[in-house]
């Protein structure tokens, strides 16, 4: 008996299907005869209206991930061994990752088939809706047409399960019993906890101290799915103890949490490490977002002029933009692709492009990326998922190659945009995509000034239901902008390894 699918708003479900109608602002699964249909969240009227529309076609769940590296004439620099500074070999990663993940990290194949077991789980929430933000357009009095690809309908409430599910699958397939990871805002940790529960894996999560306290319900979500959650830095690892000795009140960082998770994986043979961003295989898995979106935009008869996404480690941004960069390389389209990062943690706009560690303790491979220095600890902004010292090497590479641009925006402007978005489109966004919303509003207002009717496509990577304390601070007027310290960054950059 097929299980009921639970998809985001605007969605009509039939548990045996993987095809979605695109009709106006609604997405609905194609009705097959002799199958019972069920509607999630009570959106039956909109679903039935879409089904009865005469102008409908369908979009399938992608069956392959796309690897941008295959189409780049200039390949990204290799990862280096943290001790020898020589190019990393597959066996150097074997203590951290299962074999299939290592292959995906290094592959030059253009497309990778998605396993059927992974596809079946994807169908719990995929395809995700592409929605035109007509009410936001009206509020801004802009001639621009704004679309957003909404990933908040997944069980964990964000795009992160797109990679958590295949990572858990490959680990379970190779007989791994335990997985360990880090999490900033808690979205990745909850996604891996969810995926681990489906494949019978024990899951351990090191959550950045600031969000461990700030977002207790994310922690509870992970625990509900069976994960063991630790405040990071912790006394459980050498890396954590060293940080606490230097600063007992440390608010933590993703770099520190990564160090703790990697240390645990390295000293336990039955444990592998999973991560939610930065590495090539993670960005690969996220391309289901952009692959769906290209087809959905075609159904709308639209081509984006500007594509906007927030960046911390780069997974959500890459997931939407990489398939579009492929089309750009073919000469079919030429959109502006814009990454948006927090002003308090501006790795792309203020960092240096250099080989650096992905973690604070220097346990990961060295990666050529835009970095603020591996021991840089960002200010405790409310976008916990963007508090990372570096940028995904592949995103850094295409930034250097001129395929995209980057800006930074302070958090008060982001939350102002989030309130406008919530009060027009109904969705309360997570703090991370508020950066994309703020940049989208800026672009839409420029269109108002110039009269250009640009098509703006925005990545809306998750909901903010567990972030309402941040909204409360903003609504009370207590939220302030936390900017980076040039002195602090220069001190951190002085410790970046010299690789010649």
> Does residue 76 form part of some domain?
no
The CATH number given to whatever domain includes residue 459 is: 3.40.50.1100
- DSSP of 144-212, one letter per residue? -EEEEEE-TTSTTSBSTHHHHHHHHHHHHHTT--EEEEEESSSHHHHHHHHHHHHHT-EEEEEEEHHHH
> Does residue 178 form part of some domain?
no
- Per-residue confidence of the chain (500 residues) as pLDDT tens digits? 333 333 343 333 333 333 333 433 443 333 333 322 222 333 333 333 333 333 335 789 999 999 999 999 999 999 999 999 999 999 999 999 999 999 999 999 999 999 999 999 999 999 999 999 999 999 999 999 999 999 999 999 999 999 999 999 999 999 999 999 999 889 999 999 999 999 999 999 999 998 898 889 999 999 999 999 999 999 999 999 999 999 999 989 888 999 999 999 999 999 999 999 999 999 999 999 999 999 999 999 999 999 999 999 999 999 999 999 999 999 999 999 999 999 888 899 999 999 999 888 888 999 999 999 987 776 555 455 566 789 999 999 999 999 999 999 999 999 999 999 999 999 999 999 999 999 999 999 999 999 999 999 999 999 999 999 999 999 999 988 876 667 777 877 877 888 86
Identify each DSSP E strand in 430-484 by its residue range: 455-460
> Does residue 5 form part of some domain?
no
Q: How far is CA 86 from the centre of its chain?
A: 30
Predicted pLDDT at 330: 96
> Does residue 314 form part of some domain?
yes
Predicted pLDDT at 335: 98
> Does residue 98 form part of some domain?
no
CA separation, residue 2 to residues 44, 47, 119 (Å)? 20, 21, 14
> Does residue 320 form part of some domain?
yes
> Does residue 228 form part of some domain?
no
Predicted pLDDT at 481: 83
Residue 345 domain boundaries? 127-158+279-484
Predicted pLDDT at 500: 65
Specify the number of domains making up the chain.
1
Closest by CA to 329, choosing from 73, 75, 65, is: 73
Length of the chain: 500
Cβ atoms of 219 and 228 within 8 Å: the answer is no
């Amino acid at each position: 008996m097929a299980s009921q699918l639970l998809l985001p708003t605007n969605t009509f479900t039939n548990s045996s299907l993987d095809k979605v109608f695109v009709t106006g602002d609604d997405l609905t699964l194609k009705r097959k005869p002799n199958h019972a249909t069920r509607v999630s969240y009570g959106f039956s009227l909109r679903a039935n209206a879409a089904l009865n529309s005469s102008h409908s076609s369908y979009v399938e769940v992608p069956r392959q991930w796309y690897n941008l590296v295959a189409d780049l004439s200039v390949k990204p620099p290799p990862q280096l061994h943290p001790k020898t500074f020589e190019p990393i070999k597959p066996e150097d990663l074997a203590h951290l990752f299962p074999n299939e993940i290592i292959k995906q990290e290094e592959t030059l194949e253009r497309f990778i088939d998605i396993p059927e077991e992974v596809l079946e789980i994807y169908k719990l929430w995929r395809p995700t809706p592409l929605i035109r933000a007509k009410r936001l357009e009206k509020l801004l009095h802009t001639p621009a047409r704004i679309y957003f690809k909404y990933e908040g309908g997944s069980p964990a409430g964000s795009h992160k399960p797109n990679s958590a599910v295949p990572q858990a699958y490959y680990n379970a397939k190779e007989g791994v019993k335990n997985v360990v990871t880090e999490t900033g805002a808690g979205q990745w940790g909850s996604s891996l906890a969810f995926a681990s529960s489906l494949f019978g894996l024990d899951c351990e999560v090191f959550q950045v101290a600031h969000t461990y306290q700030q977002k207790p319900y994310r922690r509870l979500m992970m625990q509900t799915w069976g994960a063991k959650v630790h405040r990071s830095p912790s006394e459980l690892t050498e890396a954590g103890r060293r940080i606490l000795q230097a600063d007992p009140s440390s608010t933590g960082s993703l770099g520190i949490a990564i160090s703790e998770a990697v240390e645990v994986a390295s000293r336990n043979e039955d444990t592998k490490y999973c991560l939610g961003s930065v590495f090539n295989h993670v960005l690969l898995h996220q391309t289901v977002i952009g692959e769906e979106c290209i087809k959905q935009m075609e159904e709308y008869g639209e081509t984006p002029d500007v594509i906007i996404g927030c960046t911390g480690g780069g997974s959500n941004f890459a997931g939407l933009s990489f398939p579009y960069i492929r089309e750009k390389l073919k000469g079919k389209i030429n959109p502006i692709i814009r990454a948006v990062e927090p002003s308090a943690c501006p790795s792309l706009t203020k960092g240096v492009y250099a080989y650096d560690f992905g973690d604070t303790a220097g346990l990961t491979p060295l990666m050529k990326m835009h970095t603020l220095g591996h021991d840089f600890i960002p200010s405790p902004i409310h976008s916990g998922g963007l508090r990372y010292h570096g940028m995904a090497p592949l995103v850094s590479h295409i930034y250097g190659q001129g395929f995209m641009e980057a800006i930074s925006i302070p958090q008060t402007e982001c939350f102002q945009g989030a309130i406008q978005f919530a009060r027009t489109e109904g969705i309360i966004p997570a703090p991370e995509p508020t950066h994309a919303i703020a940049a989208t509003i800026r672009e839409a207002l420029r269109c108002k000034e110039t009269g250009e009717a640009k098509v703006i496509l925005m990545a809306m990577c998750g909901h903010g239901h567990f972030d309402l304390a941040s909204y409360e601070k903003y609504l009370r007027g207590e939220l302030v902008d936390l900017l980076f310290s040039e002195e602090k960054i220069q001190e951190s950059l002085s410790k970046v390894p010299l690789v010649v």
